[in-house]
Amino acid sequence: MSDHFQEIYDRLFARFGPQQWWPGETPLEVMVGAVLTQNTNWQNVEKAIENLKEAGLLSFQALLELPTAELAWQIKPSGYYNIKAGRLHNLLQMIAERYEGELDLLLAQSTADARQALLSVKGVGPETADSILLYAGGHPTFVVDSYTHRIFSRHQLVDEVTDYHSIQDRFHDQLPLDSRLFNEYHALIVAAAKTYCKKKNPDCDHCPLNGI
DNA sequence: CACCAGGCAAGTA
DNA sequence: TACTTGCATGGT
């Protein structure tokens, strides 16, 4: 396992340019998007968030007071809408009970404390928690997704059989703990993944990291 | 028609 | 502990 993580970032940035993530105007919108995008493409999430905006429901209090069944109806285009409505309500209730309904108070804590609070919510796993920490709170924690595992294991930069935090540890060890770097890096991996061949072929020309 | 998309939790053995 | 399955819409 070589330490090419910075070089890979540079190569991806040179090829794809700045990605301007996260597409959300407020920390609350980022948090909602982070739950809605679980195993779902972003286009569908945009439809769901647009529904909430048009209904005037994209505020903490409105979402908290909205019955779960109605929330589910609003976010229907994002798929898994019953599950996600429950998960969002779990999150909102935790923030209401422990942080006076202020997401910013949660995010103002240390990365470790904020992460623990997010992970205590049923429906918030490591990727969703890190997405909220990084993209809503500016915390320097790397967001690992299935693309990260697929691409980096294909190039033998992480083990093929590994877990979320082992991969995350590699990024945290190999790179400066810089939220702007982690922000762009994760987004670049998503951009790169879309151009990769589906069949493993490290030598193809158009796959972004061939030759690494 | 099949397959995938910016996961997670619960059930089974 | 290590798999497997349910959740669900919309685009290709």
Asked whether the predicted pLDDT for residue A181 surpasses 50, the reply is: yes
Q: What domains are there in chain A, each with its CATH number?
A: 2-20+142-206 (1.10.1670.10), 27-137 (1.10.340.30)
A125 touches strand C (CB under 7 A): no
A180-A181-A184 Cα angle (round to 5): 85
Residue range A98-134, pLDDT digits in tens: 999 999 999 999 999 999 999 999 999 999 999 999 9
pLDDT for res A208: 87
For residue A198, count CB atoms less than 10 angstroms from its CB and return exposed for 0-12, middle for 13-18, buried for 19 or more.
exposed
In angstroms, the first-to-last Cα distance of chain A is 11
pLDDT for res A203: 66
pTM: 0.96
% of chain A residues with pLDDT over 90: 88
Asked whether the predicted pLDDT for residue A1 surpasses 50, the reply is: no
pLDDT for res A205: 74
A68 touches strand C (CB under 7 A): no
d(CA A74, CA A69): 9
A83 touches strand C (CB under 7 A): yes
What is the overall mean pLDDT for chain A? 94
Contact of A65 with A26, CB cutoff 8 Å: no
